[in-house]
Amino acid sequence: MAEKEQNRTEQATPFKLEEARKQGQVAKSLDFNSLVMILGLLGLAMIWGASAWRELGQISQDLFTSSAQLAITPDNSGWMPGVLRAFISLLAPVLLVGVVLAVLANLVQTGPIFSFHPLKPKGERINPVAGFKRVFSKKMLFDAAKSLLKLLILGGVAVAFFFALWPSLMVPQSADTGLVQQWFGENAVALMFRLGMALVLIGLLDLMYTRHKFREDMMMSRRELKEEVKRREGDPLIRAKLRELQRENLKQAAAVKRVPEADVLITNPEHLAIALRYERGVMAAPVLLARGSDSWAAEMRAVARRHGIPIYERKPLARLLFRQGQVGQPIPADSYLDVARIYAELDARQRGLVEYEVRP
């Protein structure tokens, strides 16, 4: 565990990143989400704010004008639904835009993620000792320092703006209400623009830091890399055994293709099959062309039948050839006598000296 905690020198593999993503662990900056939502809502306020403000003012004016005639009793409250609908119509676009911007901000950072893993109950979440450690952890202290820094930046921008505005504070004392409203509106927009630029800087810096911290947290030790390889591909001994079986299957398949070249097929009769070939004057002894067991033996018998190759049932000989013989090599010396008898019978059959019957 010490190596896992201290010697993380390797970048996270795509497999680990994908597993972390399935568990809901991604690089996500909450400040970037806040930035997108605030800028979006400010944009909505600049586009639709004046109209909404006038409508809200009209609602307030109508309420104050008719306040003397409104009877607020359970029997006379028919005016309330209309007022609620008016307020909801003003708030609905703001809430809808806020939700859409929150979803888009998360999609921009992480893409679509659907995971219930963060919702699973964990014992450490209700453990008071673990909770106390989280409250006073380095991460919480860092987040507190980061929040204080954001407050200082935004406060500094606001204070600098008001100091710059100080010489023109006499304008609001004018009797012209239109001029006063224009002055407040222009300076409010200017202040929001400066705060928005500060938020852009904070959001982008936090996004870069969050991604850097996530890559750092996902780094792996060499031991973790080896364990991942084992988990994904299995134990090396098992992989070696599988490769050996694959090579054996390829050899068996290639050997079965040579069965049509054989002179005779010797069987066990069900579990083993050995194909032999002999060229008089060329080979010192018959050569083992192919051998197979179980399903491969059945395949070899089927090929032999299709090509009219004689099939002999010789259990001891089949076991001997299968155990000691090598594909592509002459048969073992211990089998010479029994194989010679088979070839003698084959030769006699070809000469018509004895009757021969293929035995499946």
93-134 residue pLDDT tens: 888 888 888 888 888 787 777 666 656 666 555 666 655 566
Same domain (yes/no): 191, 340: no
Residue matched to tokens 């939700």: 99
Same domain, 199 and 55: yes
* Judgement on whether residues 45 and 171 belong to the same structural domain of the protein: yes
- Confidence at 164, pLDDT banded by 50, 70, 90: confident
Tokens at residue 32, please? 């970037």
CATH for 279: 3.40.1690.10
Q: Are residues 88 and 45 in the same domain?
A: yes
Choose one of 230, 264, 293: the last residue of a domain: 230
Judged against a pLDDT cut of 60, whether residue 358 lies above it is answered with no
User: Are 280 and 316 within one domain?
Assistant: yes
pLDDT for residue 172: 57
Range of the domain at 329: 251-351
- Please indicate, yes or no, whether the overall pTM of this predicted structure exceeds 0.75: no
Whether residue 201 is found in the same domain as residue 309: no
Has residue 1 been placed in a domain?
A: no
Residue 291 has pLDDT above 80, yes or no: yes
**Mean confidence (pLDDT) of the chain:** 77
Last residue of a domain, one of 198, 230, 262: 230
State the pLDDT confidence band at 352, using cuts at 50, 70 and 90: low
Question: Are both 55 and 26 inside the same structural domain?
Answer: yes
Cα angle, residue 3 at apex, residues 117 and 135 outer, rounded to 5°: 50
Residue 242 has what pLDDT?
A: 75
| Residue with the larger pLDDT of the pair 330 and 229 | 330
What local confidence, expressed as pLDDT, does residue 129 receive? 61
Domain count, the chain: 2
Position 359 confidence tier, pLDDT thresholds 50, 70, 90? very low
Residue 203 has pLDDT above 70, yes or no: yes
Q: Does some domain include residue 237?
A: no
Do 282 and 170 lie in a common domain?
no
Q: Higher confidence at residue 344 or residue 168? A: 344
Please tell me the predicted confidence (pLDDT) of residue 62: 72
Instruction: Considering only residues 287 and 88, tell me which one the structure prediction assigns the higher pLDDT.
Output: 287
269 plus 154 within the same structural domain: no
User: Does residue 47 sit in the same domain as residue 89?
Assistant: yes
- Asked if the structure places residue 132 within a domain, the reply is yes
pLDDT for res 356: 44
Instruction: Clarify whether residues 133 and 282 are in a common domain.
Output: no
- The verdict on 197 and 340 lying in the same domain is no
Lowest mean pLDDT among 107-111, 211-215, 268-272: 107-111
Tell whether 159 is covered by a domain.
Answer: yes
How would residue 175 be classed by pLDDT, with cut points 50, 70 and 90? low
pLDDT for the residue 180: 66
**In a domain? residue 73:** no
320-339 mean pLDDT:
88
316 falls within a domain: yes
Which of 168, 200, 230 is the last residue before a domain boundary? 230
Q: Examine residue 219 and state whether it is found in any structural domain, yes or no.
A: yes
Cα four-point dihedral sign 86, 88, 94, 96: negative
Q: What is the pLDDT of residue 1?
A: 42
pLDDT at 174: 57
Q: Is residue 25 in some structural domain? A: yes
**How much is the average pLDDT of 178-182?**
66
